[in-house]
Amino acid sequence: MFSYYFTILLFILSAATQLPNLVWCSSGGFSVELIHRDSPKSPLHDPNSTPSSCIRAAAERSRSRAIYFRDAIRKAHLSSSALPMDDASNFYSEITPNSYEYLMSFYLGTPAKKILAIADTGSDLIWVQCEPCKECYPQSAPLFDPQSSSSYKTIACNTDSCSMLPQSSCDSSSQCNYQYGYGDKSIVEGILSTETIGFDSTGGRPVQIPTPLFGCTHQSNGTFDKNDAGLVGLGGGKLSLIRQLGSTIGNKFSYCLPSSTQTSATSKVVAVGKPMQAKGSAQGNIIIDSGTTLTLIDDNTLQALESNVKSSISLPQVKDPNDVFNLCFDVSGTGASTQFPEITFQFSGGAPVALQQPNAFVEAGQNILCLAIISSGSITDSINIFGNIAQQNFHIGYDLASMQLTFAPTNCA
């Protein structure tokens, strides 16, 4: 068993993996099932994909997300130092829309219309494309028509709600207009509004959340996919779905991700909170992010880990056919699965999280297993991320009142 020590810097709630069902719990919470982008239930599912092609694409998204976190933290440091920043960056989420891992299904309006949207932990605003939509990206589903909903209301300028937007303006009707951008310079523009949002219930009883703030987008431009009708922001800002629920869900949430090989299983986010930040030492911090597939650690730590893994596994080493991972093994021999060591991440506060073979190694090709931990760069320029493969089959709970995180091994299927 190998142990590596980290201080948790940032917790990011990211939507888990299949279609959503929300049900209010006796404590005032609810659970959500969502869709992984590679799931057979996802409109993005490619039946011709292989485990190795999926992991190669996921590796590219993981590296992109690590760059986002690095740049976001740098900007936060610059902002806190009162240094000048480019005005255009003030309303941008640095996440690129196509880098997402998960989708969320929900209902909007009265009568309710079903919406399939990106679940994005890197931004806050909830928005959908609305009629009339000029110069909008094409989408497969019908646009949401606010005029056909009896519960739709716009937000006026000069209100507290309008001031939550990073960039806003007034139109001729004194409505609060927004312009919201993303890391690839995709932009959406529309009217800040309120509307009833609903979810299916695993118990058969639909759940409705009255009058949350959301964006009715009337103009868009960028790399969004035609299968997505909008975006659900799950970030830490005041406009995110999690933050808007607030004390209603007891300031707690948890999620449980099944193994990626269990394609028929659904995973859940049990609502109860918002992303939070825990202060730690500058060195050794790690982001807990279910929106990143792989785990990324700095070069020095990775080299030490790879050296220890090599010395403990007697299987033949092979080259990764996808050229993503440094350390891979031929597992075609009998009893190969028994030879993989346990790798433990020791978090501050006395929380050891032991990763078994399915959490630390991934199938990169036929009879090839690779260490699913890659480099995040030099120790002075790295962003460490504890990815969703490492989190599978753990029930991960967030208590925001006491600022505590718990890991409980379980069968998430």
Q: Which residues are catalytic?
A: 120, 289
Segment (H or E) for 397: strand 394-399
Segment (H or E) for 389: helix 388-391
Residues in the chain: 413
Inter-residue contact 87 to 201 (CB < 8 Å): no
Exposure string of 130-147, with b = 16+ CB inside 10 Å and e = fewer, is beebeebbebebebbebe
In angstroms, the first-to-last Cα distance of the chain is 26
The tokens for 411 are 């069968």
Cα three-residue angle 412-313-368, rounded to 5 degrees: 65
Q: Three-class SS string for 257-294?
A: CCCCCCCCCCCEEECCCCCEECCCCCCCEEEEECCCCC
**Which of these, 119, 118, 123, lies nearest to 94 by C-alpha position?**
123
DSSP, collapsed to helix, strand or coil, labels residue 97 as helix
Inter-residue contact 212 to 125 (CB < 8 Å): no
- In degrees and rounded to multiples of 5, residue 52 shows phi and psi of -70, -40
Q: Which residues contact 286 (CB under 8 A, 6 or more apart)?
A: 6, 7, 8, 9, 297, 345, 347, 384, 385, 386
The tokens for 119 are 């679940």
Distance CA 59, CA 53 (A): 10
